[in-house]
């Protein structure tokens, strides 16, 4: 048989994890290969990047099931089934398809920032988007998955290394000169409530003070933390500050930061942090590049 589509691997991934044990991606992939009876020729089929097609599709199957909450990551490249996943298996794993996953809000959020009834009901092939729009949609899904993986890696860093990462990101964004960035991170984490300093431009005008909090995504940064940072800024006579965290900010924290008139405080949560890392190529590398071409009508309108 040919290599199943990524959504056709859903039942096999769930059945593999239905023993309630933790399994690595490699183990899940081997299970899927055996259960679908892929031939040696099937396994030799690769993408232009050299990655086996079956491996890529099982990987995306895992990502989709995780986004729907049917499975969860136990540790790096290790997964286990959830209560929702067990229920799906009990009802019949073969019934789990894209429409089934669209019953879960977390999956709809992953698929689209603005879920519509059409998104909930229509299979990708039935949608009315142009090929270019489908490509953009696919890129957004790839980035959404990459954001999760990035944050998982960031959460493994030490607080000091996280501070260095934040300053490197800001430098990539155009803040601070190379000389300034070498001294940007304070020698001691949390020194006087400031974790780093960068200049607002490459000429060194104006200093921007940084607070970097590496917290688990289950918690949130509240107003008291922003108040402490504001006090630290005042103590330095600073007017500009960036508070960056791996988690999210409470409503009260956001409102408090927005009300400040004498100090400008920018809040960057985990989602925005991961997006910026992707945009400015920090902690990521390019795997494949595709070009889209069109007819050059100017060429044909001129005399050849």
Beta strands in the chain (DSSP E): 23-24, 71-75, 78-81, 196-199, 207-213, 220-221, 240-245, 248-249, 264-268
The residue written with tokens 């155009």 in the block is 174
Pairing mode, strands 78-81 and 23-24? antiparallel
The CA distance from 6 to 112, in Å, is 19
pLDDT computed for residue 121 by the predictor: 43
The pLDDT averaged over each successive group of 10 residues in the chain (304 residues) is 89 96 95 94 86 91 94 90 96 94 90 51 47 76 88 91 90 69 52 76 78 89 94 89 95 94 92 95 88 79 66
The pLDDT of residue 185 is 62
Rounded to two decimals, the pTM is: 0.69
Q: Where are the beta strands (DSSP E) in 63-153?
A: 71-75, 78-81
Which two structure tokens, joined as six digits, stand for 57? Answer: 């599709």
Phi, psi of 266 (to 5 degrees): -100, 130
């Amino acid at each position: 048989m040919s290599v199943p589509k990524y959504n056709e691997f859903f039942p096999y991934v769930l059945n593999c994890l239905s023993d309630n044990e933790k399994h690595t991606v490699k183990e899940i992939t081997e299970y899927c290969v055996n259960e679908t009876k892929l031939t040696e020729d099937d396994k030799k089929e690769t993408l232009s990047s050299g990655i086996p097609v079956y491996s890529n599709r099982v990987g995306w199957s895992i990502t989709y099931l995780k986004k729907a909450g049917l499975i969860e990551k136990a540790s790096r490249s290790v997964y286990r089934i959830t209560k929702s996943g067990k229920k799906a298996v009990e009802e019949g794993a073969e019934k789990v398809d894209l429409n089934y996953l669209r019953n879960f809000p977390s999956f709809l959020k992953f698929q689209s920032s603005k879920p519509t009834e059409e998104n909930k009901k229509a299979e990708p092939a039935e949608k009315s988007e142009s090929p270019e729009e489908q490509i953009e949609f696919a890129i957004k899904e790839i980035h959404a998955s990459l954001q999760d993986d990035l944050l998982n890696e960031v959460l493994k860093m030490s607080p000091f290394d996280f501070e260095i990462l934040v300053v490197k990101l800001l430098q990539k964004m155009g803040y601070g000169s190379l000389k300034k960035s070498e001294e940007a991170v304070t020698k001691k984490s949390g020194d006087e409530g400031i974790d780093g300093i960068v200049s607002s431009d490459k000429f060194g005008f104006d200093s921007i003070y940084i607070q970097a909090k590496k917290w688990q995504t289950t918690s949130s940064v509240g107003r008291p933390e922003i108040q402490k940072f504001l006090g630290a800024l005042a103590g330095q006579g600073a007017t500009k500050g960036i508070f960056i965290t791996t988690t999210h900010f409470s409503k009260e924290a956001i409102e408090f930061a927005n009300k400040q008139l004498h100090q400008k405080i920018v809040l960057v949560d985990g989602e925005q942090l991961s997006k910026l890392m992707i945009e400015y190529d920090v902690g990521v590398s390019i795997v494949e590049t595709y070009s889209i071409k069109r007819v050059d009508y100017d060429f044909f309108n001129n005399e050849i």
